[in-house]
Structure 1
């Protein structure tokens, strides 16, 4: 029997991260700001744009306390540096005093160059081709060696903890809790079976490759924010870029992505059968993530509907639909 708890907490460490503390942290490295500090949209971490004296503007990322071990952050930094050195279009952390990870008043933080730009257009064939080529470059290098410290995209690490968080929160009403428990357990067990034969194909990924983590400006396109980078199937970095509302649109998007990807490396066509499993895993993870982060004041402000009964009715409906979709291969659906 799960014990219900409320995720509400009176305070959060990020509440102490004032603009003055942000500027003090940057200047502790010997870099001098011009006093301008603007918070940027970010939930998992806290990210600020800081103006500098006689130097380009910096982006400063403060890591969520207790989420990553230092070795895990440094491993991600090393991967991004390797990608940048190989010519892959990524934004790498800046090294100050020979280090990319710093600490101030209990917070670990990193500095990045500012890269202005807009999200790519997923109805633009040229953008899709370039996205595919970009992911091909990342995966070619990502497959050369494995992470030793960062997690794996699987049910045990990404699915079951999120499910437990949902089941122990107080917001599911009446039969919703029983339905969610049974349905999510069945789905996660099925996903484990579907993904198991592919485990030897896992590589280092971006991990959260949606359009918000790609910046376009003129002819440049760069990847940002590998904070969710982990081991997993290559298709994880591609399926969220297929957003067409009709079968024909999705087929065309996938075709452009594949053509770009295969400029660099072979497209993992067999992994198309994992797309619905990954979609389902993301649905479960996302709702659990919100519950787990509820003590952070940013989350109740951004996701107030999570406490509503109707939200969980919708989640149950989506998961029920996914129970039918798990047996479908995108390869077969799109006939590519």
Structure 2
């Protein structure tokens, strides 16, 4: 749990922080949809529309944030369409009254369509290119994906979560422990590379091609992590989508067919980690407003059902290509 809140980010402080970088704000600040951090859009004369991101204190160290920024710059230099932070006064990371923050160009666009095969081909090529570059070095300070963080630590958080009704504890933790056991067995160690880490449709904006946004969760992990969230629908649909992605990916790098067995374990890790994330952030006032259903019995009943379905998926044969 955390008792941290963003209450110190009042409008005058936000403007003072932005202008401390030498950027003059010529508009009001429009809050964008972000919960882990606080993100605002504004207009300047020098740079047009911009975005400022204030990082949640205590989540990442200065070295980890700088490593994220360096990764984004490296990808952009190699023409991977990643929205990288702007260098102002020779720095990408700034500090003001206890907050680290960064400024970005504002990039518009519509959300990536997972059922659009032309867009899937684009994504396959760009993820392949991203991985071709990211595999050339390793993160030093960013973490690696692990069952310890995503499952063991998340279970501890959920065991202390007051939003989970006492009457559902037995049913919830019985199936959760089965999912954790099965996932831990199946999440075998694979070669790790630097990842986007959270490569889902909401983090891809489309306008004459894709733009990757939000490298906040970049870390070391298996390449398939940046691919499986592109898949949707039933098994047959996912196999078709997978083949489309893989053929385009292979224009730059061999597709990690040996990691297809990790898709369901990774899905399980994401499910459990997401529940624990909501529990850890509940004392941030933005979370009860945005996720009121988290504090209802119905939500936890639905999670019990979802975990049972995921346990079944973990027992099925892995997804394959045609």
Name the TM-score, length of structure 2 as normaliser: 0.95
Q: Does 1:225 align with 2:214?
A: yes
Q: Which residue of 1 aligns with 2:11?
A: 19
Where in structure 2 are there 5+ consecutive unaligned residues? none
Where in structure 1 are there 5+ consecutive unaligned residues? 1-6
Q: 1:76 aligns with which of 64, 68, 73?
A: 68
Alignment of 1:46-57 (within 5 A): 46-57=38-49
Where 1:110 maps in the other structure, the secondary structure is strand
Question: 31-40 vs 201-210, which deviates more?
Answer: 31-40
Question: 183-192 vs 304-313, which deviates more?
Answer: 183-192
Query: How many Å apart are 1:184 and its aligned residue?
Result: 2.2
- Asked whether the equivalents of residues 139 and 204 of structure 1 are also in contact (C-alpha less than 8 Å), the reply is yes
Query: How many Å apart are 1:328 and its aligned residue?
Result: 2.7
Query: How many Å apart are 1:124 and its aligned residue?
Result: 1.4
Q: Which residue of 2 aligns with 1:237?
A: 226
Q: Which residue of 1 aligns with 2:59?
A: 67
- Asked whether the equivalents of residues 206 and 237 of structure 1 are also in contact (C-alpha less than 8 Å), the reply is yes
**Alignment partners' CA distance in 2, 1:226 and 1:99:** 17
Q: Which residue of 2 aligns with 1:207?
A: 197
Where 2:205 maps in the other structure, the secondary structure is strand
Query: How many Å apart are 1:8 and its aligned residue?
Result: 8.8
Paired residues, what number? 322
Where 1:238 maps in the other structure, the secondary structure is helix
Alignment of 1:105-124 (within 5 A): 105-124=97-116
Query: How many Å apart are 1:307 and its aligned residue?
Result: 1.2
Q: Does 1:295 align with 2:283?
A: yes
Displacement over 4 Å in runs of 4+: none
Where 1:51 maps in the other structure, the secondary structure is strand
Q: 2:90 aligns with which of 88, 98, 102?
A: 98
Question: 31-40 vs 170-179, which deviates more?
Answer: 170-179
**Alignment partners' CA distance in 2, 1:129 and 1:259:** 8
- Asked whether the equivalents of residues 23 and 35 of structure 1 are also in contact (C-alpha less than 8 Å), the reply is no
**Alignment partners' CA distance in 1, 2:273 and 2:15:** 34
Q: Does 1:272 align with 2:274?
A: no
Where 1:15 maps in the other structure, the secondary structure is coil
Q: 1:32 aligns with which of 9, 24, 30?
A: 24
Q: 1:126 aligns with which of 107, 118, 123?
A: 118
After superposition, the CA RMSD in angstroms is 1.6
Where 2:111 maps in the other structure, the secondary structure is coil
Where 1:16 maps in the other structure, the secondary structure is coil
- Asked whether the equivalents of residues 131 and 257 of structure 1 are also in contact (C-alpha less than 8 Å), the reply is yes
Where 1:319 maps in the other structure, the secondary structure is helix
**Alignment partners' CA distance in 1, 2:83 and 2:110:** 15
**Alignment partners' CA distance in 2, 1:247 and 1:328:** 11
- Asked whether the equivalents of residues 215 and 223 of structure 1 are also in contact (C-alpha less than 8 Å), the reply is yes
Q: Which residue of 2 aligns with 1:58?
A: 50
**Alignment partners' CA distance in 1, 2:104 and 2:217:** 17
Query: How many Å apart are 1:145 and its aligned residue?
Result: 1.5
**Alignment partners' CA distance in 1, 2:304 and 2:226:** 26
Query: How many Å apart are 1:36 and its aligned residue?
Result: 2.1
- Asked whether the equivalents of residues 239 and 319 of structure 2 are also in contact (C-alpha less than 8 Å), the reply is no
